[in-house]
């Protein structure tokens, strides 16, 4: 039977009419029809919404289409987000599945052991070329750019066809390394091996591990570029992939000479792993896992300190193992780790805040993005209701916030994040900062912006915080009036307002504000900041939303947010 298909794609906003011949119509079910459309129109089955005579019928894949009483020449409406290049993705997926099936069917301990039998003139019987090329092409040709619906379609098809499960087997295998047979090692130490034969085997071992490390880097690149949306990221966590990312991050290049290829290959694996890790560090369950691992958070600090973004005037031998972008992502990962209710306390117990303060005070940070995420990390510590800081530490953090606000503008941060296609999954940590620092019962220190950006200046502030740390809600300081100590400081609030201004530039971030029901809180926030800050925030909000009064419940929770922290009040 010939079927007229009216195709509507979200990305093009166009309607296209296509004729498709369906053989053996009476024996087909909805699943069969979707598979035909997938092949002919290049839309994954999972993305198809099918309608006939105005009614959707594609939810039950086993439904016999003969029961639709479809007539020759009738039209099926197909709605989708985009058409993809599914034929090409399917061919690449085939190479990954073949590699996965092979390693899964073998004893991997035996597979990864080098002995006389595996010399074979230095050639492995594992074919790395095809799987490596497939991973690389999927990573850089089909899964990106982000914020592109065709890329989303390719990722959906990859999961639908079992590609992610096969990929996970390859990732687990890529985390392992080849080793010499134990009996060979014993003979080596006993001096019973022919040196020439041993040299051949060790060269073979090096070649195999070079291939294995390249495979590892390809796997991490694919994972990084795959993990755009909330659902993409949760999939990796559900499949138990987070420990493999952390293990790749913790691989130590210092096991090799700095002049060797292996050293820089391991550093590349570290850099790609941190690009993956930052995607998952926005989830509360992952934040605590990362924050509790002192090895992980210290490695992030180390990657920043040994990058090109930091220079140490007193250390002429400063190492620059890691790239500028890796340092930026490491700083962002630390900030994300501090974005749950409990993790700032964990990070302070591990002394991470003091390590960050010392790093920022001792080094020259030659990069806006790194400076921004480091400052955000410290601001989250400073504004936590569960953290008590000594006055000197609190003052140091506030001073570093002042330095950042005096040097950079919200537009610079927005431009940088847009250029790097940043995708956030929550706005709550940024709103939380803006709800820190209010003092009740006394005059709040004046908070001034410098020249507005329209006049060519950057946002900053002046003023001093109370000589206190973040303390338990309800404690007070003495003065003309009793002033309850609240989480944060005037500086953390100014940084929060700075972040809101740049975040609201992005339509995706504004969708998050709507989706997380944060808009009424932002309207309330306008009342609690000083008049100029309130005016600027209100103007920004009215650019994108119609003003509406906040419910009484939100008004009360907004007030409580300053005393107990926004995250606590938000969940009340």
In a domain, residue 264? The reply is no
The mean per-residue pLDDT over the stretch 237-254 comes to 95
What is residue 313's predicted lDDT score, i.e. its pLDDT? Answer: 58
One domain, residues 560 and 502: yes
Asked if residue 310 has pLDDT above 80, the reply is: no
What is residue 412's predicted lDDT score, i.e. its pLDDT? Answer: 94
Residue that terminates a domain, selected from 204, 224, 239: 239
What is the pLDDT confidence band of residue 36, given thresholds at 50, 70 and 90? Answer: very high
What is the number of structural domains in the chain? 3
- Residue 493 buriedness (CB in 10 A; 0-12 / 13-18 / 19+): buried
Rounded-to-integer distance, Cα 227 and Cα 231, Å:
8
Rounded-to-integer distance, Cα 69 and Cα 269, Å:
57
Report yes or no: 483 and 476 within 8 Å, Cβ to Cβ. yes
DSSP H or E segment with residue 17: strand 15-21
In angstroms, how far is CA 250 from the centroid of its own chain? Answer: 18
In angstroms, how far is CA 476 from the centroid of its own chain? Answer: 39
The mean per-residue pLDDT over the stretch 551-561 comes to 92
Look up residue 477 and give its two tokens.
């300081």
Reference 135, options 251, 214, 234; nearest CA is 214
Asked if residue 152 has pLDDT above 60, the reply is: yes
In a domain, residue 514? The reply is yes
Report yes or no: 159 and 165 within 8 Å, Cβ to Cβ. no
One domain, residues 54 and 197: no
One domain, residues 23 and 109: no
In angstroms, how far is CA 361 from the centroid of its own chain? Answer: 27
One domain, residues 61 and 172: no
Beta strands in 387-505 (DSSP E): 476-477, 483-484
Rounded-to-integer distance, Cα 179 and Cα 102, Å:
20
One domain, residues 107 and 216: yes
Rounded-to-integer distance, Cα 379 and Cα 398, Å:
8
Mean pLDDT in the chain?
Answer: 86
Expressed in angstroms, the distance from the first to the final Cα of the chain is 59
Reference 208, options 241, 243, 182, 173; nearest CA is 173
Over its C-alpha atoms, the chain yields an Rg (Å, rounded) of 28
One domain, residues 106 and 49: no
Parallel, antiparallel, or unpaired: how do β-strands 476-477 and 483-484 relate?
antiparallel
The mean per-residue pLDDT over the stretch 454-460 comes to 40
What is residue 562's predicted lDDT score, i.e. its pLDDT? Answer: 87
Report yes or no: 143 and 163 within 8 Å, Cβ to Cβ. no
One domain, residues 73 and 134: no
- Cα angle, residue 427 at apex, residues 424 and 432 outer, rounded to 5°: 140
One domain, residues 502 and 567: yes
What is the pLDDT confidence band of residue 79, given thresholds at 50, 70 and 90? Answer: very high
In a domain, residue 177? The reply is yes
Q: Look-up: residue for tokens 């290959």? A: 265
What is the pLDDT confidence band of residue 189, given thresholds at 50, 70 and 90? Answer: low
In a domain, residue 359? The reply is no
What is residue 463's predicted lDDT score, i.e. its pLDDT? Answer: 36
In a domain, residue 127? The reply is yes
CB within 8 Å of 429: residues ≥ 6 apart: 336, 339, 380
In a domain, residue 277? The reply is no
Residue that terminates a domain, selected from 80, 100, 134: 80
Full residue range of the structural domain in which residue 160 is found: 84-239
CB within 8 Å of 409: residues ≥ 6 apart: 453, 457, 458, 459
One domain, residues 98 and 235: yes
What is the pLDDT confidence band of residue 464, given thresholds at 50, 70 and 90? Answer: very low
- Overall residue count recorded for the chain in this entry: 572
CATH number at 45 reads 3.10.20.90
What is the pLDDT confidence band of residue 192, given thresholds at 50, 70 and 90? Answer: low
One domain, residues 73 and 143: no
Residue that terminates a domain, selected from 239, 268, 298: 239
One domain, residues 76 and 8: yes
In a domain, residue 285? The reply is no
Rounded-to-integer distance, Cα 241 and Cα 110, Å:
24
In a domain, residue 314? The reply is no
One domain, residues 164 and 35: no
């Amino acid at each position: 039977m010939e079927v007229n298909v009216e195709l509507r794609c979200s990305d093009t906003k166009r309607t296209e009419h296509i004729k498709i011949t369906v053989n053996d119509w009476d024996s087909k079910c909805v699943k069969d029809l979707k598979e035909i459309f997938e092949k002919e129109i290049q839309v994954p089955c999972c993305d198809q919404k099918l309608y006939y005579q105005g009614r959707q019928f594609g939810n039950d894949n086993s439904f016999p289409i003969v029961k639709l009483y479809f007539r020759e020449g009738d039209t099926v409406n197909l709605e989708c987000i985009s058409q993809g290049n599914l034929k090409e993705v399917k061919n690449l997926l085939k190479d990954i599945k073949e590699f996965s099936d092979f390693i899964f069917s073998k004893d991997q301990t035996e597979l990864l052991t080098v002995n006389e039998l595996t010399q074979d003139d230095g050639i492995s019987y594992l074919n790395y070329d095809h799987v490596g090329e497939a991973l690389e092409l999927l990573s850089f040709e089909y899964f990106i750019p982000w914020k592109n619906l065709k890329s989303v379609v390719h990722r959906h098809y990859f999961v639908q066809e079992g590609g992610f499960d096969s990929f996970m087997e390859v990732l687990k295998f890529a985390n392992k390394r080849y080793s010499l047979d134990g009996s060979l090692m014993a003979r080596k130490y006993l001096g019973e091996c022919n040196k020439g034969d041993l040299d051949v085997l060790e060269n073979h071992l090096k070649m195999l591990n070079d291939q294995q490390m390249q495979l590892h880097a390809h796997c991490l690149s694919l994972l990084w570029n795959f993990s755009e949306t909330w659902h993409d990221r949760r999939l990796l966590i559900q499949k138990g992939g987070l420990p493999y990312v952390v293990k790749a991050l913790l691989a130590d290049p210092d096991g090799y000479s700095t002049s060797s290829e292996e050293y820089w290959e391991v550093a590349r694996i570290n850099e790609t792993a941190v690009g993956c890790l930052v995607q998952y560090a926005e989830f509360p369950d992952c934040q605590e896992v990362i924050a509790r691992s002192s090895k992980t958070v210290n490695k992030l600090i180390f990657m920043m300190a040994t990058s090109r973004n930091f220079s140490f005037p007193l250390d002429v031998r400063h190492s620059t193992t890691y790239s500028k972008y890796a340092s930026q992502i490491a700083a962002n990962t630390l900030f994300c780790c501090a974005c749950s209710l409990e993790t700032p306390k964990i990070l302070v117990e591990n002394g991470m805040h003091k390590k960050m303060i010392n790093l920022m005070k001792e080094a020259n940070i030659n990069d806006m993005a790194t400076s921004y995420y480091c400052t955000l990390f410290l601001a989250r510590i400073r504004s936590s209701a569960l953290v008590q800081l000594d006055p000197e530490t609190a003052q140091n953090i506030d001073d570093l916030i002042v330095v950042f606000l005096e040097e950079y503008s919200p537009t610079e941060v927005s431009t940088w994040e847009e250029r790097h296609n940043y995708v956030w999954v929550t706005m709550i940590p940024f709103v939380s900062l803006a709800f820190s620092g209010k003092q009740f019962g006394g005059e709040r220190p004046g908070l001034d912006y410098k020249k507005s950006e329209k006049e060519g200046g950057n946002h900053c502030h002046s003023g001093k915080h109370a000589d206190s740390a973040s303390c338990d809600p309800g404690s007070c300081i003495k003065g003309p009036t009793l002033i309850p100590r609240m989480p944060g400081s005037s500086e953390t609030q100014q940084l929060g307002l700075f972040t809101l201004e740049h975040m609201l530039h992005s339509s995706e971030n504004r969708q998050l504000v709507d989706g997380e029901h944060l808009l009424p809180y932002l309207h309330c926030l306008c009342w609690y900041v000083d008049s100029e800050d309130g005016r600027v925030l209100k103007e920004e909000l009215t650019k994108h939303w119609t003003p509406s009064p906040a419910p009484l419940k939100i008004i009360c929770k907004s007030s409580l947010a300053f005393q107990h922290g926004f995250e606590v009040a938000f969940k009340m």
